[in-house]
Amino acid sequence: MIKVIHVISDTNIGGAGTVLLTTLRNIDRSRFDVKVVLPAGSALISRIDALGFECICTNGGADKSLDLGAISEYRKIFKKEKPDIVHTHAAMAARIAAFLSGVRVRIHTRHSTFAPRAVLTRFPLKNVCGFINNTLSTQMIAVSESTKDNLTAMGANPKKIEVVINGAEPLRDVSDEELATLRESLGIKEGDFVVGMSARLEEVKGHIYLIEAARILHERGCDNLKVLIIGTGTTEAELKAKTAEYGLTDCVLFPGFVSDVAPYIKAMDVIVNCSFGTEATSMALLEAMSLAKPAIATDYGGNAFIIENGKNGYIIPQKSASNLAEAVQKLMDNPDKLTEMAKFAYSKYICRLTGKIMTGKMEKIYEDGYNQRCKK
């Protein structure tokens, strides 16, 4: 049995934590003995415990990739546990500790996409970054092609990078009665066209462009449009103020934080992603596809690898309310196209983007690394 230790520094449950939980749900426990190292008090602990995996809690490393004080703590854990593989999610300190501890297979997943600063893509810093990544990691996993491009731009060896697109667990089925109750509570009527976003309310997520698009469509007389903005964050007050300024309080709804998004996604005709930063593989888009929901998404990061333009949604330019409004209008005016896209979205999810498929690719990387390095 191959002994694997995951290390994550997150205290909240974000994209990396969600991917880790999905991996744990699907991993073959007859072949892999898995433990998770994470900060004491992390919201992930109860979820991991519920799945039956052991958590090893640290005092250091909380929400910091490079916590120098945590290196010795990680080293003690690795020396005691003697893992065959250490798989880190950010957690640079753990990568250093694994290298110093002589762990033979050191895998690092890059979960985000963002354009690196130009200085990091040129000599000498590109060489420095490349040396660090290539030395500390025997294998790197990029969650999208754009993420791989970020790594190679900073000197990472492309031969060491494997692209593994995130997979998602399917959202639960929602009964007609539950859906009807939710629609009634939100004031969604028969014949309304529902567009929604499920994301942290932060500037880079681009919610303002969805509100601007709603204003454009409202001015065109699209009175049957409803917009759901699910989540909380630092831009919440600003977004609500802009909604009121435009007279859209009956159109744009803010349900707030939702622990179970399934009924809200089910209520949508189309899901939207307006991100212009940090988007690698949107879990919200994948989860919506599990309920056969097409998407309108910006061309940032990994979105274009999830949404095939014209097939399971539309890809639009970043920061363009007018293009978003046009895409929504197309689907409002063409229910047959909406139905066709919904079928393709579900088919693509089932064939390529489930948690089981993603985990199977992870397992192969583990076995290949183990066979190449630990059996010598």
Q: What is the pLDDT of residues 163-176, one digit of tens each?
A: 999 999 999 999 99
Q: What is the pLDDT of residues 125-146, one digit of tens each?
A: 999 999 999 999 999 999 999 8
What confidence tier does 120 reach under pLDDT thresholds 50, 70, 90? Answer: confident
Mean pLDDT of 195-217: 97
**DSSP labels, 279-348:** -SS-HHHHHHHHTT--EEEESSTTHHHHS-BTTTEEEE-TT-HHHHHHHHHHHHH-HHHHHHHHHHHHHH
Query: Would residue 70 be called left, alpha or beta, if left means φ above 0 and alpha means ψ between -120 and 50 degrees?
Result: alpha
Q: What is the pLDDT of residue 376?
A: 62
CA–CA gap between residue 138 and residue 372 (Å, rounded): 11
- Residues across the chain: 376
Mean pLDDT of 214-222: 97
Residues of the chain above pLDDT 70, percent: 100
pLDDT at 255 over 90: yes
Single-letter code of the amino acid located at 371: N
Q: What is the pLDDT of residue 13?
A: 87
Which domains occur in the chain, in start order?
Answer: 2-167+355-373 (3.40.50.2000), 176-352 (3.40.50.2000)
CA–CA gap between residue 343 and residue 350 (Å, rounded): 11
pLDDT at 305 over 70: yes
pLDDT at 266 over 70: yes
Half-sphere exposure of 272 (CA within 13 A, CB side): 33
Q: What is the pLDDT of residue 41?
A: 96
pLDDT at 278 over 80: no
Q: What is the pLDDT of residue 281?
A: 87
Mean pLDDT of 351-373: 97
Q: What is the pLDDT of residue 177?
A: 97
Mean pLDDT of 102-123: 91
Query: Which residue from 62, 112, 108, 55 is spatially nearest to 86, judged by alpha carbons?
Result: 108
Which is more confidently placed, 116 or 288? 288
Q: What is the pLDDT of residue 15?
A: 86
Strand ordering across the sheet containing 225-230: 252-256, 225-230, 193-198, 270-273, 295-298, 313-316
Single-letter code of the amino acid located at 319: K
Query: What is the rounded average pLDDT for all residues in the chain?
Result: 96
pLDDT at 14 over 90: no
Q: What is the pLDDT of residue 115?
A: 76
pLDDT at 117 over 90: no
What confidence tier does 112 reach under pLDDT thresholds 50, 70, 90? Answer: confident
